[in-house]
Amino acid sequence: MLFLITAYAGGANADGLKSLENFVKTVKTGQATFTQVVTSPAREGQAPRVKTSSGQFEFSRPNRFRFDYVKPFVQTIVADGQTLWLYDVDLNQVTARKQATVLGSTPAALIASAADLQALQADFVLADAPDKDGLQWVLATPKSKDGQLQSVRVGFRAGGEPTMPTTTLEVLEIVDSFGQRSVLSFTGFKLNPALAASSFQFSTPKGADLIRQ
């Protein structure tokens, strides 16, 4: 969900770190549609299992973001700066966790939560990866070995003018410690839109079970 490659670096025209730094510096709010494809490792005698979901994503740096999954199941994930909320409509259940304890070494920190590159480097080893598919890539490996995240690759598309470059988030590739691979592809990315503060507020729906962890 907040979601994950062996480490490699270098390659021709590898400007991923520059793109990441520009994205963190200049993109304070963002909004996009996403598609997520999760591929589980193949079991003996069976093909890999693939699940696809889609929805809307928005963030306000630092520490506020929202994922609204609409297909195939409705789920909402909201980080309000203090608490991370997960609402599963089918289960009619809300899970609340302290944001500071769960977001450090996560993909959400890479794309939405961190205030600057230095904050990211406290939790990740960051390296340029070779350009591919017209994108500039960064490989992020968590420094902590205790989490469920193995690695993250982030793909950016550079644009704009030389004096005012723009960087758009395009792809997030996640590998977890169980070998499960999750790829989030973003479309229609809007840079620095005006977002209502209410987008990052959450109230437990009436009748839903609330679990605090």
Q: Which residues contact 23 (CB under 8 A, 6 or more apart)?
A: 111, 156, 167, 169
What is the average pLDDT across 105-117?
78
**DSSP class of 23:** H
Question: Hey, is 26 helix, strand or coil?
Answer: helix
Mean pLDDT of 115-127: 85
Q: List all residues 6 or more positions away from 9 whose beta carbon is below 8 Å from its beta carbon.
A: 127, 128, 129, 139
Q: pLDDT tens digits, residue range 14-44?
A: 688 999 998 998 999 999 999 999 998 877 7
Q: What percent of the chain has pLDDT over 90?
A: 55
* 163, pLDDT greater than 90: no
Q: Give, for 28, the enclosing helix (H) or strand (E).
A: none
pLDDT in tens, 180-198: 899 999 999 999 999 999 9
How far is 175 from 181, CA to CA, in rounded Å?
A: 5
Q: Is 108 helix (H, G, I), strand (E, B) or coil?
A: helix
Amino acid residing at 29: T
Do residues 32 and 190 make contact, with C-beta atoms less than 8 angstroms apart? Answer: yes
Token reading at 113: 């939560």
How does strand 135-142 pair with strand 124-132?
antiparallel
* Rounded-to-integer distance, Cα 184 and Cα 174, Å: 8
CB 107 within 8 Å of CB 4: yes
Q: How much is the mean pLDDT over the chain?
A: 85
Percentage of the chain exceeding pLDDT 70: 90
